Amino acid sequence: MTSEEKTHVRDRILEEIAKTKILVQTYRELTKPIAPENAIGRISRMDAINNKTVNESALKKEELKLKNLQVAISKMDDADFGVCIGCKHPIPLGRILLLPQAITCVNCAR
C-alpha cells in the first residue's frame, strides 16, 4: 500500500470513527430506562420496551465497530496492515475503504 493510499485510508477511518461515535451516543440516549411513571399505556410501553431492545442491540454493534476502528487506526503503521489474517494476501483497497475495520479479504470473511 502506497503512502497516498494509507493517507486516504487513515482519513476514511477517522471519518468513520466520528460517525460511529455520534451513532453510539444516539443509541445510548435511546436505550435509557423507560420510567414506570410515564403514563404511556400498556401497549405503548410494550412497544417502547421492544424498541429499547432493538436499540440496545444496535448500540452493541456500533460500540464493537468503534472499538475495531480504533484498533485499525492504531495498526495503520504495522507492516501487516491491509493483509488478510486468513490467507495472508493483501486486502483490496476498495474493501478497506468500505469497511476500514476489515481484517479479512472477502473470501476469508465468508
Between 1-5, 60-64, 75-79, 96-100, the lowest mean confidence (pLDDT) is in 1-5
Alpha carbons within 13 angstroms on the beta-carbon side of residue 102 total: 23
Domain boundaries defined on the chain: 3-78
Q: What's the pLDDT score for residue 2?
A: 83
The DSSP bridge partners found for residue 90 are 83
Q: Give the C-alpha distances (Å, rounded to integers) separating 93 from 48, 82, 88.
A: 42, 8, 15
Supply the pTM of this predicted model: 0.79
Dig out the grid coordinates for 108 from the structure: 476469508
Higher pLDDT residue, 55 or 50?
A: 55
